[in-house]
Structure 1
């Protein structure tokens, strides 16, 4: 089996990328599911970690009594999903090359990334997430700050008031903008960082460029990912065990199709 090293032999610079099509999305979903079935271990562990994180998030917000923060965390959860699925990119890359997909092999590659560009992108996204929590709290305070309600589980009817509906509308719009920013930066940028020797700023710019120049298929992919993750979180986050690794593998295959088609052009 081919041995894939973590880094120095990666091709330098960003690849030529073709523009995505709706047919590529269908192909990516099918290939992602096949990869998950072929090597499910890492994906299941990553999914289980996200399920556990969801449970901890619920426990902390319930124990503090400020379950309003749970709403913000749920909106933020899909934004972090690409980073949680990063290891599945490596699994798919190895499956395509006939290399080992052992759990230790994947962890070795991920550990090697600590000295690369990924931590910089992670750090930037953490700052953006924290800013989203700050803005979310400000929106809540703006519309409902004078309401005697801190627990949405016992005072949910406040959201049906005029101020509550206005708060939901504003929060959804702002949260959607943050989610779109995350998506545009990561959808191509993250797999590119694994595949190529490229700085994170270049990867971000190229990723955003693909989204801007092909809005229909890329926004369709964003909607599919968002809906799938939302539905996966409904049964106590347990759906993430399957959906997260499936979408992770599929995201790699979408990038790989764009790369291969760009190389042939």
Structure 2
């Protein structure tokens, strides 16, 4: 069904846009988004699978780095979550096209970022700065707890499984979770807003922060679902990423539709 939002490529649309009106949603909404995302995946399977294989390639790169230089895995993993929303832009566009009754073909989705290039680039710049800070913080944490020689990969995994270095694990997870929550808060609806309405980056990030403030529990459930599905994808020898990540991408579009009221 067509929405009432201002077309993203209409002249002067950005200047006329009011601040997005964010709705309050129920705690069960994220599960509905996953169901709708899976329906989009089935309807646009060929195009969605292209993006799924892109995510799988990124997952394989992460695993390769972990096997050869695990101290840098946090940087590559963070890069995965940094790049993922931009790969997902094509999935948002597929969902939008399905709403409008348009064919779910791949080619138009590959350049959808051109609609609002300046603001998307600004948002990417913000995430890149956060990514660089986290990568540096990660290395500092490793240096604090491994002041002598770094253990081998097998030794490091054994320590984690045996909880022999619990202080390191607690600090690392706490700091990483803080960065992850910050990025999540900025990006709940940011890119869909920039694509769908040609909204500016600052307003889009503020709208995402407002969405989290108004819906802390539902969106924490949503974040937990994203992490769970991503982990399933990684733990299934990356095969699951082919399906899981496109479903999450499509579901994010439905999250945006439910969280942000359409323009009248």
Aligned CA-pair RMSD: 2.5
Deviation, structure 1 residue 144: 1.6
Q: Does 1:207 align with 2:212?
A: no
Q: Is the 8 A contact 2:74 2:138 kept in 1?
A: no
Q: CA deviation at 1:114?
A: 6.5
4+ aligned runs moved over 6 Å, structure 1: none
Matched, 1:132 2:134: yes
When residues 153 and 119 of structure 1 are mapped into structure 2, their CA distance, relative to the original with a 3 A threshold, is farther
C-alpha distance in 1, partners of 2:245/2:258?
A: 20
Displacement of 1:135 after TM fit?
0.3
Supply the distance in 2 between the matched residues of 1:27 and 1:241 (Cα, whole angstroms). Answer: 21
Structure-1 residue corresponding to 2:244: 243
Q: TM-score, normalised by structure 1?
A: 0.86
| Separation in structure 2 between the aligned mates of residue 58 and residue 24 of structure 1, nearest angstrom | 32
Pick aligned residue for 1:59 from 54, 58, 64: 64
Using the size of structure 2 for normalisation, the TM-score is 0.87
| C-alpha spacing 1:145/1:114, structure 2 compared with 1 (3 Å) | farther
Task: Show CA shifts across 1:27-63 (max 9, x none).
Answer: 212211111100022321112112112222333454x
- Using a 3 Å threshold, how does the CA distance of structure 1 residues 172 and 28 change in structure 2: closer, same or farther? same
Q: Which residue of 2 aligns with 1:117?
A: 119
Unaligned regions of 5+ residues in structure 1, if any? none
TM alignment of 1:83-232, pairs within 5 A: 83-110=86-113, 112-113=114-115, 115-146=117-148, 148-159=149-160, 160=162, 164-232=165-233
Shift of 1:263: 5.8
The separation in 2 between residues aligned to 1:31 and 1:58, in whole angstroms, is: 30
Structure 2 unaligned regions, length at least 5: none
